Amino acid sequence: MTVVAPDRRRSRNLKHGAGSTPAEEGLSTRSWDDRPAHLTSGLEPDVALECGWGRILFGQTFASHEDLLEVLSAEEPGRRDICLYVREPHVAVSKAPQELFIDPSHTYRLWLHQHQPPRDPPRAVIVRDLRSESDADAVNRIYTAAGMLTAPTEVLWANQRTATFTYLVAEDAETGEVIGTVTGIDHRHAFHDPEDGTSLWCLAVDPQTTRPGVGVALVQALAGRFQARGRAFLDLSVVHDNEAAIALYEKLGFVRVPVYSVKRKNPINERLFSASPAEGIDDLNVYARIVADEALRRGVTVEVLDAEGGYLKLSHGGRSVVTRESLSELTTAVAMSRCDDKRVTRRVLEGAGLRLPRGRVVDHSGDDVAFLEELGEVVVKPARGEQGQGITVGVSSAEELTEAIALAERYGTVVLLEEVVTGDDLRVLVIGGEVVAAAVRCPATVRGTGRHTVEQLVHATARRREAATHGESTIPLDDMTVRCVEDQGHAMDEVLDEGEALVVRRTANLHTGGTIHDVTARLHPTLEEACRAAASALEIPVVGLDLLVPDVTGEDHVFIEANERPGLANHEPQPTAERFVDLLFPGTRSLPRGWEPGVVGADHVAELPDAGTGA
């Protein structure tokens, strides 16, 4: 088949889908066979243009799919890279199916030799070049209003001063306000394109403007600019279901061409590659939702079995796993029972040679008091339970011991006494035998204003914690809070001095107002090894291990307990949900290329959402 450049003097069309495409097929539309040497010999290799919100990669400039994947894998957090004109896109995606996807957008082309200037341009709208950094600020304002990712002003302004980029803005002739923008790229200047192509990006119109036809005016003005340069065609990409925009583009003379783009599977693109959100997903708590979101991002089907309980059914590749937050069917009943009963936890960890505080089971004999007298101070807690319920820290008298045991027995018939060990409350998350996250948990604390009582401060802080955690954390105003305050020489009706910090709970449990601070990067290797050993001894695939340590960068530690259903969301930005889904569905694991989740934004392909108004 002979390949020639498009004839700008005449149009010979073949029917193609909803529109038509010229018979001459050049480099940008030949994605199914080897690229013709006479069209590729002069190309600039591996072209990725920086746009501020991400990069545009020109697929025809990459010699191999591996080269393309390497560049795409360098996408930065919070940005979106787009690769257009990918040769054999299905093959490219097969190289990294958990990282890449074929964008469900159509490419439309306007053959510029057919372009005619508008007969009736919109009144009171002036389309002009972007002239200053203040214009670039206005462009970002429109991007934000349109739900798109913004770009640094300096990047927009630097690009505008090159021959490769053309930024146009639409100005309201009466107010002087910028009300629309479009970006054009000249492929000849970008990579020595032998086809003399161009492309249109980031078309956006201020949703508040009342001027009709702004989007159309921008498209036609950009086409006119490139036509004057002698370029052959103008391409744009539009989401397949944007019917209004497609209808308008076809009205303007654009036709479909077999050009495809590839993007990375990141949160910004999630709506383009993941299944529709499961019914009830918005009713999940944060600990189940983080799992559901990560599963959807991987292409795993999510069925919400019980939103209130956090139960999900995840399915992929012919197998299904039921989860409850971070607890899954991979955790056996035996492993769960070892964590559920703190007596068993102690025995298992002691048997593995790990360090624990001294302890005993309450038997209501004189030995309980003798144990207290020997140590001077103890922790009293039910052998079974969670979220810090029934725990009393710092019991130092026989009377307090009786009260603390009675409290613990409200939550379980078996009660433990343990040695009080000073240090930071450390939670280490182990998934699949590897330490994924570590955080120091601090007890609920209020800070004085010089005007409010301790009780008022507790109420205010509790409301803020509850709002910030969607009801998962609060500070109970109970006897334990009162006692904690009084033990430090304060009273609930006392006005706390401005700036003075006061701990109001003895335990650092997150459900009772504690806060969590990531220390993963600082964790001593000895602590990591001890936690891996503990998870192995418990024979549990996912576990949150609680330790007391004088310093997370040191070796000293004791294990306190193990949690078979640790909250993954508490350890962000560590990749807890990613590692959990890796464990459940290893085949969906992304290649280790170091990309991270970023800020969710909107598509950057050119769209006209409302053909009636030209927006």
Query: Looking at the structure, do residues 410 and 551 belong to the same domain, yes or no?
Result: no
Confidence (pLDDT) at 510: 66
Query: Looking at the structure, do residues 154 and 191 belong to the same domain, yes or no?
Result: yes
Query: Looking at the structure, do residues 210 and 142 belong to the same domain, yes or no?
Result: yes
Confidence (pLDDT) at 249: 92
The answer to whether the Cα torsion of 488, 388, 563, 441 is positive or negative is: negative
Q: Is residue 375 part of a domain?
A: yes
Domain boundary among 247, 270, 293: 270
Query: Looking at the structure, do residues 363 and 452 belong to the same domain, yes or no?
Result: no
Number of domains in the chain: 3
Q: Output the pTM of the full model.
A: 0.56
Confidence (pLDDT) at 576: 95
What distance in Å separates the CA atoms of residue 604 and residue 250, rounded to the nearest whole number? 20
Q: Is residue 324 part of a domain?
A: no
How many other β-carbons are positioned within 10 Å of the β-carbon of residue 155? 15
Query: Looking at the structure, do residues 404 and 454 belong to the same domain, yes or no?
Result: no
pLDDT < 50 stretches in the chain: 1-24, 591-615
CATH number of the domain to which 160 belongs: 3.40.630.30
Confidence (pLDDT) at 469: 63
Of residues 351, 388, 325, 361, the one with CA closest to residue 534 = 351
Question: Helix, strand, coil proportions of the chain in percent (round to 5)?
Answer: 30, 25, 40
Query: Looking at the structure, do residues 40 and 172 belong to the same domain, yes or no?
Result: yes
The parent domain of residue 512 ranges over: 424-571
Domain boundary among 270, 290, 322: 270
What distance in Å separates the CA atoms of residue 130 and residue 138, rounded to the nearest whole number? 10
Confidence (pLDDT) at 513: 67
The Cα-based distances of 373 to 232, 369, 402, 415, 440 in angstroms read 91, 6, 14, 18, 30
CATH number of the domain to which 507 belongs: 3.30.470.20
Query: Looking at the structure, do residues 406 and 502 belong to the same domain, yes or no?
Result: no
Please tell me whether the peptide bond between 586 and the residue prior to it is cis, using omega within 30 degrees of 0.
no
What distance in Å separates the CA atoms of residue 540 and residue 558, rounded to the nearest whole number? 19
Query: Looking at the structure, do residues 396 and 511 belong to the same domain, yes or no?
Result: no
Q: Are 380 and 405 in contact (CB under 8 A)?
A: yes
Domain boundary among 419, 434, 461: 419
Residue range 553-583, pLDDT digits in tens: 999 999 999 999 999 988 878 999 999 999 9
